[in-house]
Structure 1
Amino acid sequence: MMTSDLDRERAARMRRNEEMLATIGVTKALTEVLHHREGGGDGPRASRQAPSSKRGRVKAVEPIRKSQRLVVAGTAQHAEEGEPEEPATTSGRGVGMTQEQYLASKGLPLPAGHFRTDGCFLGWVQKDVAARHGICSSAAEAWEQGGGGSFSRKIRKADVPTELKAKGWSDARAFAAGQLRKNPNAFFYRHTAPGEEQAQGAWTDAEHELFVATARQHGVGDKWGLFASYIPNRVGYQCSAYYKQFIIPSGLILDARFRLDAWGDAIFSGPK
């Protein structure tokens, strides 16, 4: 019985890997390395599909290891920063491969169109979103017009709106809801733009292409709230999870801060 369960889990894991590789355009390589692959994607779609649409969706990136979980995770500069990454404890997981080494271990090349990042997002809130919601044109201006003060990652109970806590939200989410104009990075990390429904589950091809285009233009790897303002219906922690669970293992964007274990899990190992 135990062997049967392990076989089923292994088969399910291989199936997910094959689906993932098929999503970024390296399907042909699967015939050479039939048993533990990951994959590519369809071309860009002309228009973004509504969150409820099932058509043209990139499979939700599931971890290759069953136990892996989605990470949901005093100055204007600090206010721009995203959720801090800490190097993970990786004992016993065989972590240490670069993205190139990981793909090579599966007999796969880097995907066409791959590029490198230094792990920094250099943009601000997407201009149409900023104009629509009265967000200032820079972090410093937004911080000062929002009341200024010293920046702290610690959220005081007094700063959490009671009416939002009553919704059952965490302190972090309730606090972030009031930061749209002062600290939009904090707001968009946990909230979509006002009036937008948050998409759940699988990413569409259009979302994938928009993610990659945004990364090419503005950089990628931190300030996930600001980054998410370019992806309608997605929030920062979803973009961060998509990056780690799909983009990094695929090799589409090379980020030297990450290493991969034999299962294809991306582990943050710190600045390089």
Structure 2
Amino acid sequence: MLATIGVRNAMEDLRRCQAASEAAARPIGAAGSGPAAPRPARPKRPRGEVEHIRRSGRLAGAVTAQAIADAEENDDAGEKPSGAAAGRGVGIMTQEEYLASKGQPLPPDCFRSEGRFTGWVAPEVAAKFGVAATAAEAWEKGGGGKFQRKITKADIPAHLRSKGWSDARAFAAGQLQKNPNAYFYRHTAPDQSQATGEWTAEEHGLFVATARKYGVGDKWGLFASYIPNRVGYQCSAYYVQVIIPSGLILDDRYRMDAWGDAVFVGARGGGRGGGGGDEE
């Protein structure tokens, strides 16, 4: 996976950029000036291996999982996301065109998503923690009312205010029964700890299997309930940073730029009925 996203070549790219900058800044006739050193050749990749060209996270301003969560919240509130999440890359192309530009075919097991998750909380998780069978039932059992995206301190239970969490995370902690999509977007099941770092092959397999069965692209909290120890915003980040660039799942709401970064070009929103719709 590290090879797929270009980590092996990141340091060499950085060294080349630094050397080029130093050569350009060196005065003509200065000691050591002269013909530029030949550009080192990149090691050949095995045929069929997709090289996901990404700059270093620091250099490229790559979107972290938490940054994606924040950007989605801003978008839901009608604000324009900032930074990499709001930018439009250079050389926009479809996923198929991006892979073709690298001389790579689509993965043989790729499939297309309409950008919508059609499932509910993972059955074993719902049964274990007494979550209602549908979004409407959960919402009504939790007290009903009008769905409001704006969160205030008054909406957060007193016992959660002292956790040191953001308002959004503290509020979500009390939504397991009423709005599990909001809960699982920021929290794992009560008996699980949140995993960090690289995804395992098992987690990748669960992601793909869940996407094949229920679709993928929104309701990330509900989606994450199928992947133990991961939360919704981590699943969203994995989709954008790994799955989309690989071409494993084709999603017409995304395009690729020349750097290998996924750019969202679709429309957000829709399907946000009470209890079901929260962060996408």
TM-score interval, normalised by the smaller of the two chains: 0.7 to 0.9
Query: Per-residue displacement from partner, 1:139-163 (whole Å, max 9, x unpaired)?
Result: 0000000000000110021011233
> Which residue identity does 1:38 align to in structure 2?
H
> In 2, distance between residues paired with 1:70 and 1:142?
31
Change (3 A) 1:109 1:65: farther
Secondary structure of the 1:227 match is helix
2:52 aligned residue: 38
2:238 aligned residue: 242
> Which residue identity does 2:197 align to in structure 1?
G
1:196 aligned residue: 192
> In 2, distance between residues paired with 1:6 and 1:100?
28
Secondary structure of the 2:60 match is coil
Provide TM-score, normalisation by structure 2: 0.72
2:205 aligned residue: 209
Change (3 A) 1:201 1:257: same
Asked if 1:68 is matched to 2:33, the reply is: no
Secondary structure of the 2:197 match is coil
> Which residue identity does 1:254 align to in structure 2?
L
Matched residue count: 221
Change (3 A) 1:65 1:213: farther
2:125 aligned residue: 129
**1:218 to partner: Cα distance:** 0.3
* Identical aligned residues as a percent: 62
Asked if 1:97 is matched to 2:111, the reply is: no
> In 2, distance between residues paired with 1:134 and 1:140?
15
**1:68 to partner: Cα distance:** 1.2
Q: Which has the higher contact order (CA 8 A, sep 6+)?
A: 1
Which structure 1 segments of 5+ residues have no match? 11-17, 31-35, 40-61, 74-81
Query: Per-residue displacement from partner, 1:39-59 (whole Å, max 9, x unpaired)?
Result: 9xxxxxxxxxxxxxxxxxxxx
Q: Residue 231 of structure 1: which of 227, 231, 247 is its match?
A: 227
Bigger Rg over Cα: 2
Q: 1:64 touches 1:265 (CA, 8 Å); kept in 2? A: no
Secondary structure of the 2:250 match is strand
2:250 aligned residue: 254
1:220 aligned residue: 216
